[in-house]
A = this chain, B = another copy of it.
């Protein structure tokens, strides 16, 4: 009864909140929706998904959504046989920045529904939307499909999420789980910050001692495991862009190969302070050999070389590097510039385009113009770098680790989702917005392992996914809240530990969900009664 009341309130709040039609509970909200305000009662056992595509990748996605569609099993639906027909016009599976992700979806018929797309990736986005249209009514144990027509495409081509497998090691299965959650939210880039100062978990046959800086012999990623992650991500249309952060944050390189890092005892108290020795020609040979082995594992065109937080003074403190700088007439900035230029030569040989944090540009380096710059500093920095002619990704207001991500303080910690939602990449940008490719949320893992990743990321990141996909006009926290609340429940029913944002909602879960809390040891009710009676 109460649930029904809440549903009505939510529906009304969506309907009358403002001019923008957000009448269906969809996240991220599609570009164009015609809501017919009717539903079809769906019988799970009569439902099937068919496709004209021979793609194995899409077949996996279809199989997955078929399994997800009815979390509570067979219900009391009355539709008999129903079909979702997927029609993909191109057999080209290339996955790249800017790939066509558009789709058309129709559920106006009572028995035959359709998704049409140019690519398999558009079909995947449509499948997610279709899943969200399938609503479970607990009171009647019945699934209803909302009837509508949708035409949809993303606002930004780069909708990324950064994971950090250096501060803590995530097992491969955990990364696949994270990809599940990102795919559901229509993210399309996994930015894999794979190594950092504190650990090096990537197996290298060229330089096997790099994994001396792994947490344990088993806490590493083999080539085969990396390929599995890349392939798994493809089944969600997610590109995997690795980051090897240099020349700073390089202490882990030095564990097995001390010669490639700088020596500056005054800065050694913080492991993040140690950069590569950029004066040593052997360092560049090392990077080239290593990247020649590793880079081809990641088929994407873009390769993130970090460049953030280089402690330039460490180079001045190292006598050999200082001597090299003096001899070549470099200061620390022109030395950094030299390093970046050498790196460009290596990347060119490997046919990869550089992605880099904003720091070298802030330092005054003249970074190659083909680079994409990820801005983690401020919107002012975004504008400056856009004015310099770069394409950028926006991240500065999407740091999930921070206590006050944007400077706003709420009563409840979890309400920081609102700050993330309000952080439009266009905010305070006056020109060159066409060079904003999108953005990335970042989950730095100083205090995050696979034990708490889900809850730290969800539901707060749902709104970031919407900001990156939906039209700029879909920007009201009040309008988004009820949709995000219901979607968070949907995610939790798929095994993503995404909690609530509002008091008083009720999201019963299938009993077999992995994270369902249980007592550590079952005590039978007879024993418990005996203990109770001993009071």
Flag A227-245 by CB within 8 Å of B: 1 or 0 each: 1101110110000000000
Cα distance A286–B215 in the bound complex, in angstroms: 62
Cross-chain contact B503 with A169 (CB below 8 angstroms): no
CB distance from A448 to the nearest CB of B (A): 6
Assess whether B215 is in contact with A2, with CB atoms less than 8 Å apart. Answer: yes
| 54-83 of chain A: CB within 8 A of chain B | 56-57, 60, 63-64, 67-68
A224 surroundings in chain B (CB, below 8 A): 525
- Taking CB atoms, residues of chain B closer than 8 Å to A449 are 499-500, 507
A123 at the interface (CB under 8 A from B): no
Contact B451 A235 (CB under 8 A): no
User: Count of chain A residues with Cβ under 8 Å from any Cβ of B?
Assistant: 103
In the bound assembly, the distance between CA atoms of A516 and B454 in angstroms comes to 11
Residues of B within 8 A of A369 (CB): none
Say whether B447 contacts A500, CB under 8 Å: yes
A504 engages B534 (CB within 8 Å): no
Query: 1/0 per residue A313-356: CB within 8 Å of B?
Result: 00000000000000000000000000000000000000000000
Q: How far is the CB of A72 from chain B (nearest CB, A)?
A: 13
- Knowing A402-B413, A535-B299, say if A519 contacts B176 (CB, 8 Å): yes
Considering the chains assembled together, what is the distance between the CA atoms of A198 and B216 in angstroms? 49
With a CB–CB cut-off of 8 A, which chain B residues contact A180? 519-520
Interface string of A441-464 (1 = CB under 8 A from B): 000011111111111100000000
Is A287 positioned at the interface, with any CB of B under 8 Å from its CB? no
- Is B413 a contact of A230 with CB atoms below 8 Å? no
With an 8 A cutoff between CB atoms, is A293 at the interface? Answer: no
Judge whether B235 and A167 touch: CB under 8 Å. Answer: no
Shortest 4 CB-CB distances between A and B: which pairs? A452-B499, A215-B506, A176-B519, A455-B455
